[in-house]
Structure 1
Amino acid sequence: MKKGILAASSIALMIALSACGRGGIYADVARFHTNQPINRGTLFIQPADPSMANSLEFRTHSESVAVEMRRQGFQTVPSAAQAQYVATLDIAQTDGTTVTRPGTTVGVPVGSAIIATPVGRGPRNSTERTTTIAVQIQRQGDGQKVWEGRASKTANAGSQESTLTWAVPRLATALFTDFPGTPGVTQQVRL
């Protein structure tokens, strides 16, 4: 009987730990376009908030998008006057509700019931922070939007994953994976 309980507890612990490892490595990505080919060309990246245009913060984050756009065959340029396309980048962080978690739990069989028992240390109360990047690409000549998308990731506030320096490059990579992507579908993309 003890061996059965020990085996069941071990299996439950392995399942719980493997689920923890998978849970935090995906971004929710949604993309929209007209299903028409997007010709590659020169591209200028501007902030959604014009007051950020000359900030070091925006230049750092826009470079993450520029790297991905170059991988897709676009050539980034330093001014809108030189560009065939303008990409508008918006970055937002929002704090959600405080979530109470018991840490890692393991199902322990007690008689005919299984009781979730907390083991180890883990966050007991944490606030979740969602980081979202959104990009709109429009043709410079006629102002027609040709593509737009957003990627978001939720992590515990205060964790490395909730910082912009960690999240923005990874979200940019997720956003432009399989560019232009399936329009109108929200997908989970591995970070």
Structure 2
Amino acid sequence: MLKHVIAIALSTAALSACATAVPPVEVTRFHLGDPARTGTVAVREMPDNPDVGLEFRTYANAVARELQGVGFTEAPDAASAYVAYVGFRRGFRPGGQGTDRPVSVGVGGGVGSGGFSGAGVGIGINLSGRPKDIVTTQLHVQIRRRSDSATIWEGRAIGEAREGTPAAQPGIAAAKLASALIGGYPGESGRTITVR
């Protein structure tokens, strides 16, 4: 019986963890009228992007894939009709605040005064240890027409995940944010939505 109770408690905790493995993304897009839906595009790093380096290529590749999925064709920089500027930022905040406390599962019982009327065992299982930090990742994309540098579309996507989880890894975060931001392009302008 005790084994079944422990198994159920662990299964419930595991299912809870799976349900939040890929957290929702908050997306805001801006455009005027009906922006271009096809054409050649070069993906470049946004000027003054705060997080420069090798990780940028992960985000740029994710954006390029999503732009191809909505009708654009990637082209060399000088030959493209549009330029998609990509910027991203990752930050950390301490876990353990609000709902980020460690999860505890307990099973217990007691012995009655007249013998074995309610024999039991007490067990405590700490499933998470010290709370992990929360990783916040923001992706910013601007599509500009090359001929006059006018911005035809712009959007931001923000996601959070617990440090050490798959959703906090740069490759998974980049793919999720780019998909949420560019999926449904061009999207409703000026409205913030949650993409699950």
The two structures share one fold, judged by TM-score above 0.5: yes
Do the aligned residues in 2 keep the contact of 1:87 with 1:136 (CA within 8 Å)?
A: yes
Conservation of the 8 A alpha-carbon contact between 2:29 and 2:153: yes
What is the one-letter code of the residue matched to 1:31? R
Alignment correspondent of 1:111: none
Question: Deviation at 1:45?
Answer: 0.7
Tell me the distance in 2 between the aligned counterparts of 1:181 and 1:164. 25
CA 1:51/1:149 → structure 2, altered by over 3 Å: closer, same or farther? closer
Q: 1:41 to 1:123 in 2, by over 3 A?
A: farther
Which one has the bigger strand percentage?
A: 1
Equivalent residue number for residue 110 of structure 1: none
Instruction: State the superposition RMSD in angstroms.
Output: 3.0
DSSP 3-state at the match of 2:148: coil
State whether structure 2 residue 178 is matched by structure 1 residue 172. Answer: yes
Residue type of the alignment partner of 2:103: G
Q: Deviations over 1:136-159 (max 9, x none)?
A: 011111111111111121111232
User: Does structure 1 residue 145 correspond to structure 2 residue 145?
Assistant: no
Identity across aligned pairs (percent)? 31
Following the alignment from structure 1 to structure 2, what is the Cα–Cα distance between the partners of residues 135 and 51? Answer: 11
Q: 2:75 & 2:40 partners in 1: Cα distance?
A: 6
2:95 aligns to what SS in structure 1? strand
TM-score, normalised via structure 2 length = 0.72
Cα deviation digits, residues 24-69 of structure 1 (max 9, x gap): 43111111111324241110111024799x9654333311111111
Return structure 1 stretches of 4+ with deviation > 6 angstroms.
none
Aligned residues: 168
Relative distance call for 1:187 and 1:105 in structure 2 (3 A) is: farther
Indicate conservation of the 8 Å contact 1:103/1:124, yes or no: no
CA distance in 2, matches of 1:101, 1:40: 47
Which ranges of structure 1 fall in alignment gaps of 5 or more residues? 1-5, 107-117
> Which aligned pairs between 1:9-158 and structure 2 lie closer than 5 A?
20-25=17-22, 26-49=24-47, 56-79=54-77, 81-99=78-96, 100-103=100-103, 121-158=127-164
> 2:49, 2:87 within 8 Å by CA — same for their partners in 1?
no
* Amino acid of the structure 1 residue aligned with 2:74: T
**Could you tell me how far 1:122 is from its partner in structure 2?**
2.2
C-alpha change, 1:32 and 1:123, in structure 2 (3 Å) is farther
Give the 3 Å change call, closer, same or farther, for CA 18–186 of structure 1 in structure 2.
farther
- Whole-Å Cα distance in 1 between the matches of residues 194 and 49 of structure 2? 32
